[in-house]
Amino acid sequence: GAGVSQSPRYKVAKRGQDVALRCDPISGHVSLFWYQQALGQGPEFLTYFQNEAQLDKSGLPSDRFFAERPEGSVSTLKIQRTQQEDSAVYLCASSLALLDTQYFGPGTRLTVL
């Protein structure tokens, strides 16, 4: 079946621009996670949702980062006033329920110039 999909796959932004990254989880998956992966490093947790409720946003690096999942399915990660240090791959993962295996999408590579 279809896995987790993310769009766009690549995004180039000028410093100061706002960006929106989309995640379509596996159908029926209740939990959705966002991670940030710097070059050559392992992914780092940003935030997660159970259905439409955002239960943990402790990993969001600043108040410029905002995530939503209004109908408990598709999620959007928004970054306002992008900075060069925001350049990374943003990974989305979903799981059937909390504590189940997380399955990852291909990621969105964000480059801020």
Partner 1 sequence: EDQVTQSPEALRLQEGESSSLNCSYTVSGLRGLFWYRQDPGKGPEFLFTLYSAGEEKEKERLKATLTKKESFLHITAPKPEDSATYLCAVQFQGAQKLVFGQGTRLTINP
Q: Give the residues lining the site for partner 1 (CB under 8 A).
A: 4, 31, 33, 35, 40-45, 48, 55-56, 59, 91, 93, 98-99, 101-107
Answer for the pair 21, 6: CB distance below 8 angstroms, yes or no.
yes
Smallest separation, CB 44 to partner 1 (Å) = 7
Nearest C-alpha neighbor of 79 from the set 25, 11, 9, 31: 11
Query: In whole angstroms, how close is the CB of 39 to partner 1 at the nearest point?
Result: 11
Enter the tokens of residue 19. 């960006």
Question: Sheet of 5-7: strands edge to edge?
Answer: 5-7, 19-24, 75-79, 65-68
Q: Which one, 36 or 82, has the nearer CB to partner 1?
A: 36
Instruction: Please tell me the distance from the alpha carbon of residue 48 to that of residue 57, in angstroms, as a whole number.
Output: 7
Q: Which is nearer to partner 1, 76 or 106 (CB)?
A: 106
To partner 1, the closest distance from the beta carbon of 59 in angstroms equals 7
Nearest distance, CB of residue 87 and partner 1, angstroms: 16
